[in-house]
Amino acid sequence: MTTVIAQGTFDLLHPGHVHYLSEAASMGDELHVIVARRDNVTHKAKPILSDRQRRDLVAALGVVDEAHLGHREDIFVPIEEIQPDLIVLGYDQHHDEAAIESALAARGIDCGVERASAREPRYPEELLSTGDIIDRILEQRDC
């Protein structure tokens, strides 16, 4: 059995997230998703939705076998617990594959690291990022 991990913030779920998680699920037999805790998100604006709500929304997707909240201090703890065969990164996530592979090797975790493909909008008004969704809300609500 091939166990796959996907990870991310997953604030305001959108078709880009569904594409990423569906593609990650297709790469193995079991998909675990690690949802970043709000306090650990430092590379972009903090999530709007709570940690638990974001995890629960991800867990409700049919392609996800199990959704976990990330560890408060060490992002590799859930990976050590799950022992995946593969970690799939989103096509636009800020992570460096080589750095992740090096950290995994240093911890004795033997798994591959791959990137998911991008998904293009299927129609002009389709939004594939949380930031774009927020911008559209602010624009349409005259904020």
Q: Identify the sign of the CA torsion 14, 18, 96, 102.
A: positive
Helix or strand run (H / E) with residue 16: helix 15-26
Q: CB–CB of 51/69 below 8 Å?
A: yes
Residues at the annotated binding site?
9-10, 14-17, 92
Give, rounded to a whole angstrom, the gap between the first and last alpha carbons of the chain. Answer: 49
- H-type helices in 83-121, by residue range? 97-106
Q: Identify the sign of the CA torsion 39, 95, 76, 29.
A: positive
Residues at the annotated binding site for ATP?
9-10, 14-17, 92
* Distance separating alpha carbons of residues 48 and 29, to the nearest angstrom: 31
Q: CB–CB of 103/76 below 8 Å?
A: yes
